[in-house]
Structure 1
Amino acid sequence: MPATTIDRRVLVVAILAAFVAFLDGSIVNVALPAITEEFGGGLPVQQWVVDAYLITLGALILLAGSLSDLLGRVAVLRIGLVGFGVTSLACGLAPTAELLIAARAAQGVAGALLVPSSLALIMSAHRGESQARAIGLWTAWTSAAFIVGPLLGGVLTDLISWRWVFVINVLPIAVTLVLMRPMRNEPAAVRTPIDVLGAALGAIGLGGVVFALIEQANYRWESAVVWVPLALGALSLVGFIVRQATARHPMMPLSLFRSRNFAVGNLATVAIYAALSISGLVIVLYLQQVAGLSATVSGLVMLPLTIMLIALSSRFGTLAGRFGPRWFMAGGPALAALGFVLLRAIETPFDFVSQALLGVLLYGLGIAITVAPLTSAILGAIEPERSGIASAVNNALARIAGLVAIALLGAVIGTVVDDAWLDNALLLCAGLMVAGALISAFGIRNPSTVTAPPTPAASS
C-alpha cells in the first residue's frame, strides 16, 4: 500500500475513533430531559449521566496514554473500540437510571483508550506541514462531534428514542474496525511499567470531588455524605501529584510541563473546554425545558458552529503551522467570549435570528480559530516519542475541566433552569473564554521564540 494511502487511512481511522468518544460527550445532552422524564431524578440525575462518563474518561485517559505508548496505538485502539461498542449497547438497554449511570461509567473507561491513541497515530504518521494539516482535520472533526452531538441526539430522541443516542455508536465503530484490519501494531521497544497507584489515586480523587459537587444540592455541604467524599477526593488528588513527582515511571510525567507551550497550552485548555462543556449543556437544557423547543430544534441551534468547525479548523491549523499559534489561541477565545455575551439575548419566546444567530456565528468562528492551533502548540512542544502521553495529558485536562465545570453548575448558578440561570451560565462561559485568551496571549510563544522541548528526564 503506498505511503500516502497509509497516511490517509491512519487519518481517517484516527478521526473516526476519536469522533465516537467526543460525540458521546455531548450527544447525550439533548436527550437528558427525555431520560429524566422516563427515570425521574431531575438535574442531579442529568448531571450524573454526563459526569459518570467524564469521570472515568478523565481519570483513566492518562493511563490509556501510557498503554498506548507501551502496547502500541493500534492494539489499544482496537480494544477501546470494541469496549465502547459493548458499553454503548448497555447504555441503550439500561432499564433504570442507576444502571444507565453505571454503563456510562464503563463507557468512559473504553472511551479513555480512544483519544490519546488516535492522535498519537497521526503524530507518528505525519511530519511538518502535513502534520499541522492532519491535526487541523482531526481537531475539526472531533470538535465538530462535540458540537453536532446535540443535533444528532435531538433527531434520534424525537424520531425514535433517547436510547438510540447510544446505540448509534455501533455504526462508526464497525467501520473503523474494518479500516484498521491492514494496520500493523508497533509496541514500544522498551516496556515501561504502568503506574497503577497513580491511576487509582486519580480516579478516587476525581470521583470524590465530583460526587460532592453534584450531591451538595441534595445533602448540603455540612452533610458527611458530601464533605467526606470531598475530603477523600482532595487528599487523593494531592497524593496523585506527589506520586507523579516521585514515581520512577509516572503516569503523567511532570517533566512534560517544563515546556512552556505545553504548560501554558494546557492551562488555556482547562479554561476553554470548561466553557465549551457548560455551554453545550445549558443551552440545550434551556431551549427544551424553558423555551419548549423539541430536542431536534434545540440541536439545530448550534448547527452553524459545527459547519464552521469542519470548514475552517484545518485552514487555521495550517496557518498556525506557518505563523505560529499564539495569536490564534488568543483571538479565537476572545471572539467566542463575545459570542457568549450576545447569546444572553436568548429568552422566551425564542427567536433564532434575532436572539442567537450572531452569537452562534461569533462563537463558532472563535472556536474554529482556536482548536487546531491549541492542539498543535501543545503537541509540537513535546518530542514525538512521547506524543501518546502528551496527547493523553491534554485530553485528560480537557475532559476533567468539563467534568468539574458541569459538577459545579448547581453550586455556582443554582439548579432551577430559567432565564437568569442561562444568563449567568453564559456569562461564566464568556469569563472562562477571556481567561483562555489572556493565558494564551501572555504565555504562548511562537516556534521561533520557543525554548526547545526538554529531553526525557529520569522520571519519565
Structure 2
Amino acid sequence: MTTAEDRLSYASATGRWVLTATILGSGIASIDATVVNIALPAIGRSFDTGLQVLQWVVTAYTLSLAGLLLLAGALGDRYGRRRVFSIGVVWFAVASVLCGIAPSAGVLVVARALQGVGAALLTPGSLAILQASFRPDDRSKAIGAWSGLGGVATAVGPFVGGWLVGLGASSWRLIFAINVPIAAAVVYLTWRHVPESRDEEAGGRVDLFSGALVTAGLVGVTYGLIEGQALGWGSAAVIAALVGGAALIALFLWRQTRIAHPMLPLGVFRSAQFSATNVVTFIIYGALGGALFLLPIQLQQVARYSPLQAGVSLLPVTVIMLLLSSRSGALAARIGPRLQMSAGPVIAGVGMALYTRIDAGGDYLTQVLPAVVVLGLGLSVTVAPLTSTALSSAPASHAGMASAVNNDVARAAGLIAVAVLPAAAGITTAAYDNPALLSAGFHRAVLICAALCAAAGVLAALTIRNPKPAKAEERPLSHCAVDAPPPCPMPAAAARPQSSRPPAPAGP
C-alpha cells in the first residue's frame, strides 16, 4: 500500500513507468472508442447492415462502459485500484479478440458490450492510481501528462483506424487486434511498477444491485431511442423500454439515498461547481459524440473519402491538442477555469457549424480543414479546465468516484447522442443509403451539435466560479488539474491521507 511518505515523484523512474502504464491503459479504451467510428461503413458492408445496426456497434460498448463506471470506481476504491485496473485491461484484451473474430453483426455487438465492461474497469482506475500514487507536489504534473497524452491517443484513433481499415475488405478486424500487444505491455508494467492503493475508509459491501439498476436503465432507454425510429415511437416495445429504463434509473437514484454506503454519494452534488461542471460535460460530450459518430460516415458515404483519408482528415485535432493542451491547463491554473469553459465550447460549436460546408465534393482544404482546426482549438481550450474542475470539486478521498462520475457523464452523453441525433436530424435507414438525404441530415445534425456547444458555453459562464486565490502562507495540498497544475488548497484535516471522511463541500 502507498503511504504519504513513500508516494512517487514525477521525475523518478518508477513514477514514469506508472505514468506510462496508466496512459497506455486508458489509451487503448480511448482509441477504441474513436477508431471504430472510422470503421463503421466497412463493418456495414462486411455484414450488409444499415445505420441501425451500426448504432448498436457503438452504443453496445458505451452502454456497458457508462453503466458500470460507477461500480468500477467503487470496486477500485474498495479492493485495490491496481488490481481492478489490471483485471480491466485483461478483460478488454480478451473482448477485443472476440470483436476481431466476430462472424456476424450480432456477435460483434455482444463482444463490443463485453469490451465496454473491460473499459469500465480500467478507465476510472487509471486516474485514481495517479491521484493516489504521486506526491501532492508532483500530482498535477502526472495528471497533466496523463490527460494531454491520453487526449492525443483519442485523436490518433481515427488515423489508425483509417489506415487499418484501408488495408482490405475485412481488415477492420485489425483495429481490435492491435489492442492485444498494448494490453500485454500494460499488464506487465502495472505488475512491475504500479503500487497498490485503496480507500481505507470504504466500508460495507460493493452495491452490485445498484450497478445492475443503472446499467439496465441505460439499456432500456437506449433501446427505446434507437428502435423508436424503426418500430414507431408509439409501439409497445419502445414505450415499455423508455418508461422501464427511466424507472430503473430513478430507482437507482432513490436507492443511493437509502443505503449506508452508496455507489454514488449524492451529497457530492451539493457542490454547485461539481454539478455545473458535470452538466457542461454532458452537453459538450453529447454534441462531440454525436458529431464524431456521423462525420466519418458523411466523409466516406457522401464525399467518397477512403477510410485512410477520413482518418487523416482529423489529424489536425491531434496536433492542436498536443501543442495547446498543457498551455490551456496552465492558463486555467493562473486565471481560473471560467473563461475557458465559457469560450471553449462556443469555439468548438463554430467548428461543428463549419461541417455544414462538407458536401459531395468534399474538398479538404476548403470544406474539412477549417472545421477541424476550429474544433481542435475549441477542444484544447475546453478539455483541460473542464476535467480539472470536475476532479477538484470532489473530496480527495473520493478520487475514484469523482473520476468515474465525470467519465460516466461524458460516456452517457455520447451514448444518448448517438441514439438520438440521427433521428432528430432526419437520418433514416433509407437516408443512410442515399447520399443526398444523408448529407442534408448530417448538416442538420452538426447544427444541432453546434447549438448545444454554444449553450454549454453560456451555462458555464453563468455557473462556473474561479477558485479563490490561495493565501501566501497556504501550501497547495491537493492538485487536481488534468493538463496543468491549478492548486486547490484544502483544510489540513481534509487533506491528510487516511483521515476521517471530509464532509461534502457546500460549494470535479
Hey, what's the Cα distance between the residues in 2 that align with 1:133 and 1:304? 25
Structure that is richer in helix per residue: 1
Equivalent residue in structure 2 for 1:426, among 424, 427, 446: 446
Give the CA deviation at 1:401: 0.3
Q: Could you tell me which of 50, 66, 71 is aligned with 2:74?
A: 66
Q: Secondary structure at the match of 2:233?
A: coil
Report the 3-state secondary structure (helix = DSSP H, G, I; strand = E; otherwise coil) of the residue aligned with 1:447.
coil
* 1:257 alignment counterpart: 269
Q: Are 1:444 and 2:444 matched, yes or no? A: no
Pairing partner for 1:184 from 171, 195, 199: 195
Residue 37 of structure 1 deviates from its aligned partner by 0.8
CA distance in 1, matches of 2:439, 2:371: 17
CA contact (8 A) 1:53 1:105 kept: yes
Aligned with 1:195 (options 202, 207, 220)? 207
Map Cα deviations across residues 23-71 of structure 1 (whole Å, 9 max, x no partner). Answer: 1111111111111111122001100000000000000000001011111
1:292-331 equivalences in 2 (<5 Å): 292-331=304-343
Alpha-carbon spacing, 1:402–1:255, altered in 2? closer, same or farther (3 Å): same
> Aligned-pair distance for 1:11?
1.8
Tell me how far apart the structure 2 counterparts of residues 321 and 130 of structure 1 sit (CA, whole Å). Answer: 15
2: distance between equivalents of 1:319 and 1:10? 26
1:128 shift after superposition:
5.6
Q: What residue number does 2:105 align with? A: 97
Name the residue aligned to 2:18.
10
Q: What is the correspondence of 1:89-168 to structure 2 with a 5 Å cutoff? A: 89-126=97-134, 130-160=138-168, 161-168=171-178
Cα pair 1:91 1:163 within 8 Å, conserved: yes
Distance in structure 2 (CA, Å) of the matches to 1:304 and 1:84: 29
Q: Supply the AA of the counterpart residue of 1:377.
A: T
Structure 1 residue 186 displacement after superposition: 2.5
Compute the displacement of 1:452 (Å): 7.0
Alpha-carbon contact 1:326-1:446 (below 8 Å) kept: yes
How high is the TM-score relative to the length of structure 2? 0.86
Structure 1: 5+ residue stretches without partners: none
- Equivalence for 1:219: 231
Counterparts of 1:217-366 in structure 2, within 5 Å, are 217-366=229-378
Gaps of at least 5 residues in structure 2 are: 1-5, 433-437, 470-487, 495-500
Please give the alpha-carbon distance, in whole angstroms, between the structure 2 residues aligned to 1:77 and 1:248. 26
Deviation digits for residues 378-405 of structure 1 (CA, Å, limit 9, x no counterpart): 1111222110011000001100000001
| Aligned counterparts of 1:326 and 1:129: Cα–Cα separation in 2 | 24
In 1: Cα distance, 2:148 partner to 2:397 partner: 24
**Structure 1 position 213, deviation (Å):** 0.6
1:267 & 1:452 partners in 2: Cα distance? Answer: 24
SS of 1:221's equivalent in the other structure is coil
Change (3 A) 1:279 1:140: farther
Please state how far the C-alpha of 1:131 moved relative to its aligned partner.
Answer: 3.2
Secondary structure at 1:47's aligned position in 2? helix
Task: Give TM-score, length-normalised by structure 1.
Answer: 0.95
Shift in Å, 1:189: 2.4
Partners of 1:124 and 1:384 within 8 A in 2 = no
Work out the CA distance in 2 between the residues paired with 1:229 and 1:456.
40
Paired residues of 1:30 and 1:153 also in contact (CA < 8 A):
yes
- In 1, distance between residues paired with 2:284 and 2:228? 25
The residue that corresponds to 1:173 in the other structure is 183
SS at match of 2:191: coil
Check whether the contact 1:136–1:315 (CA below 8 A) recurs between aligned residues: no
Deviation at residue 76 of structure 1 after TM alignment:
0.7
Q: Deviations over 1:414-458 (max 9, x none)?
A: 222422111111111111211221122111111117997996459
What one-letter code is carried by the residue in structure 2 that aligns with 1:60? Answer: L
Which of 46, 60, 64 is equivalent to 2:54? 46
State the Cα distance separating 1:256 from its structure 2 match: 1.3
- Give yes or no for the alignment of 1:27 onto 2:35: yes
AA at the equivalent of 2:195: R
Given that 1:273 and 1:402 are in contact with CA atoms closer than 8 Å, whether structure 2 keeps it comes out as yes
Q: Deviations over 1:215-241 (max 9, x none)?
A: 112211121221111111011011111
1:205–1:234 CA contact under 8 A, matched in 2: yes
CA RMSD of aligned residues (A): 2.0
TM-superposition CA deviations, 1:293-345 (whole Å, max 9, x none):
11110111111011111221122122222321111111111111111122211
Following TM superposition, by how much is the alpha carbon of 1:132 offset from its aligned partner in structure 2, in angstroms?
3.3
What whole-Å deviation, never above 9, does each CA across 1:338-378 have from its counterpart, x for those lacking one? Answer: 11122211111110111122221111011011111111111
Within 1, Cα distance between the matches of 2:467 and 2:18? Answer: 26
Aligned to 1:389: 401
Paired letter, 1:152: V
Contact 2:80 2:197 in 1 (8 A): yes
Tell me: CA distance 1:358–1:47, structure 2 relative to 1, closer, same or farther (3 Å): same
